[in-house]
Amino acid sequence: MARPSQISLLLATLVAFVTGALATVLPQPRPQPQPRDIDLPDFTADSFYSSFWNDGTAKVKYNNGPNGKYSVDWSGNKGNFVAGKGWNPGGPRVVDYSGTFAPNGNAYLSIYGWTTNPLVEYYIVESYGTHKPCSSPTDDAEQKGKVTVDGSTYEIWTKMRKNKPSIQGTATFPQYWSIRTDLRVGGTVHTDDHFKAFVASGLKMGRHSYMIVATEGQDSNGTSSIVVGVAPSS
Ligand SMILES: *[C@@H]1O[C@H](CO)[C@@H](O)[C@H](O)[C@H]1NC(C)=O
């Protein structure tokens, strides 16, 4: 994925920083999400951080709900987007989430984020559509190992992205993938265990940027409705 501009990232980072600094000293009334917020690529509409990136060709509507709730409707079987809610910065966390994920075609439901220095884009994949990530020869991906955590085995994969969109503009950087074998929609993810598995596989991580429970679609259509911070009730 990518940023439309570095400026919006800087603004979002500044807003997140100031909001975070205030939150440590003041009792915070919970702000209601403002409709205009959904036009911005990154924003802090409530206690969760939201991110919505669209390559400009995907037909997608991101609906920012209260607290950890969001939904995405996409159509057209064209383009790439990543949307979701989480934290900025991300990092080691116990991530509860629940909801529905109903893609037609290629899409991922994952705990998704970035580190800098080194620049890394990572995915802890909980479910996917028709394409298992890293599985086709054109992915040119390498499996580094496996980790059993959060009730399933996850496969650890990596691949390089050359001159691709990133949170630092167009760049060359690795992707790290932890891909769940027993796919699910809803549960608890201990991100630290996945990060440790990356590092144990020789995949270095840097300083955490944002981390979201993301819906990503590629040339597909579908819907998702996710609540971050709430584990499934059954
Ligand atoms: C959604 O994608 C599938 C193929 O993955 C296609 O058969 C279907 O027509 C698409 N539906 C819409 C509404 O675009």
DSSP letters, the chain, are ---S-HHHHHHHHHHHHHHHHHHHHSPPPPPPPPGGGGGSSEE--SSSEEEEEE-SS-EEEEEE-STTEEEEEEESS--EEEEEEEESS--S-EEEEEEEEEEEEEEEEEEEEEEETTTEEEEEEEEESS--TT-SGGG--EEEEEEEETTEEEEEEEEEEEEE--BTBSEEEEEEEEEESS--SSEEEEHHHHHHHHHHTT----EEEEEEEEEEEEEEEEEEEEEET-----
Comparison of pLDDT for 14 and 97, the residue scoring more: 97
Is residue 23 very low, low, confident or very high in pLDDT (cuts 50, 70, 90)?
very low
Region 190-201 average pLDDT: 98
Most confident listed range (1-5, 20-24, 54-58, 100-104): 100-104
Q: Quick check: 17 pLDDT over 90?
A: no
Q: How far apart are CA 100 and CA 138, in angstroms?
A: 30
**Average pLDDT score, the chain:** 86
Q: Which residue has the tokens 């990060």?
A: 195
> What pLDDT is stored for residue 6 in this prediction?
47
Whether the CB-CB separation of 214 and 95 falls below 8 Å is answered with no
pLDDT class of 46 with cuts at 50, 70, 90: low
> Span 2-8, mean pLDDT?
46
Lowest model confidence (mean pLDDT) among 14-18, 72-76, 99-103: 14-18
Res 47: pLDDT: 82
Predicted confidence (pLDDT) at residue 132 exceeds the cutoff of 80: yes
Q: Give the residue whose CA is nearest to atom 10 of ligand 1.
A: 221
Q: What is the CA(78)–ligand 1 centre distance, in A?
A: 11
Residue 1 pLDDT level (bands cut at 50, 70, 90): low
Closest CA relative to residue 174, chosen from 203, 147, 146? 203
* pLDDT score of 114 more than 70: yes
The residues near 188 (Cβ < 8 Å, ≥ 6 apart) are 94, 95, 96, 150, 231
Q: Cis ω on the peptide bond leading into residue 92 (within 30° of 0)?
A: no
Ligand 1 atom with the shortest distance to the CA of 221: 1
Query: Model-level pTM?
Result: 0.82
Q: Is the pLDDT of residue 43 over 70?
A: no
**Residue closest by Cα to atom 11 of ligand 1:** 221
Taking the centre of ligand 1 as the mean of its atom positions, its distance from the CA of residue 77, in whole angstroms, is 7
Å from CA of 159 to ligand 1 middle? 29
Our answer to whether residue 126 is catalytic in this structure is no
- CA–CA separation, 163 vs 202, rounded Å? 23
Instruction: Give CA separation, 140 vs 35, 38, 58, 164, in Å.
Output: 41, 35, 25, 15
Distance 98 CA to ligand 1 centre (A): 25
**Section 190-214 average pLDDT:** 98
Whether 61 shows a pLDDT value over 80: the answer reads yes
Residues with CB under 6 A from ligand 1: 75, 77, 104-105, 220-221
Nearest to 90 by CA among 170, 24, 178, 189: 189
The answer to whether residue 155 is catalytic is: no
Nearest ligand 1 atom to the CA of 76 is 14
Q: What percent of the chain has pLDDT over 90?
A: 79
**Residue scoring higher pLDDT (94 or 15):** 94
What are 24-35's pLDDT values in tens digits?
444 444 433 333
pLDDT at 44: 55
Q: Which of 121, 126, 142, 155 is catalytic?
A: 121
The per-residue pLDDT for 30 is 41
